[in-house]
């Protein structure tokens, strides 16, 4: 199945960029980042920012933007059966040169899982003016790590925002 990523969720004052790999099947069907109900990405974001959880996608986007975070995917296109990153083939990366030119306040890049990190390394490469953080995947496929541990790791976001 051919898959195309979504446009980034970003506001001009974003300081952190969170990158997934490519939206999964459910996310693509409902046109929402992290739309699969067992992915804990949004639950973690609401908890980090001490806000009541909402299933409303508009409120989710507003939470990210309000807290100076941009959300996107490393890949703009791939072929994949199902939602597992391990099934990705014939991938192409998003255009990060233009993205970073248009969003100069971003200094920290967080990768939601190893696949996002590895594809970024392969297609974009690491530049000295950014700080990179490979985070545990919020996907239910990352069953080796419990929710509390994922939350603790992702809480670095607050520190990074305070530093910038």
68-79 as b/e: b if 16+ CB within 10 A? bbbbbbbbbebe
Could you tell me where the beta strands, DSSP code E, fall in 14-152?
Answer: 16-20, 69-73, 75-79, 89-93, 108-112, 131-135
Which residue is it, tokens 């995947």?
Answer: 137
Residue 9 backbone dihedrals phi, psi, to 5 degrees: -95, 110
Question: Model confidence over 51-97: pLDDT tens digits?
Answer: 999 999 999 999 999 999 999 999 999 898 877 777 789 999 999 99
Q: Measured between alpha carbons, how far is 153 from 147 in angstroms, rounded to an integer?
A: 10
- 101-128 pLDDT, tens digit each: 999 999 999 999 999 999 999 999 998 8
Sheet architecture: strand order including 89-93: 2-4, 75-79, 89-93
Whole-structure pTM value: 0.94
What is the set of domains in the chain, with CATH numbers?
2-163 (3.40.470.10)
Average pLDDT, the chain: 93
Instruction: Show which residues are catalytic.
Output: 39
């Amino acid at each position: 199945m051919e898959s195309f990523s979504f446009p980034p969720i970003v506001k001009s004052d974003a300081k952190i960029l969170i990158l997934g790999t490519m939206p999964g099947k459910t996310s693509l069907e409902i046109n929402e980042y992290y739309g699969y109900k067992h992915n804990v990405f949004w639950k973690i974001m609401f908890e980090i920012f001490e806000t009541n959880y909402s299933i409303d996608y508009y409120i989710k986007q507003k939470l990210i933007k309000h807290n100076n975070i941009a959300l996107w995917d490393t890949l703009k296109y791939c072929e994949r059966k199902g939602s597992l990153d391990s099934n990705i083939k014939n991938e192409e990366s998003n255009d990060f040169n233009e993205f970073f030119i248009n969003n100069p306040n971003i200094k920290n890049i967080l990768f939601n899982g190893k696949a996002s990190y590895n594809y970024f390394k392969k297609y974009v490469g690491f530049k000295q003016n950014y700080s990179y953080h490979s985070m545990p995947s919020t996907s239910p496929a990352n069953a080796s790590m419990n929710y509390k541990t994922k939350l603790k790791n992702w809480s670095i976001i607050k520190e990074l925002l305070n530093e910038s």
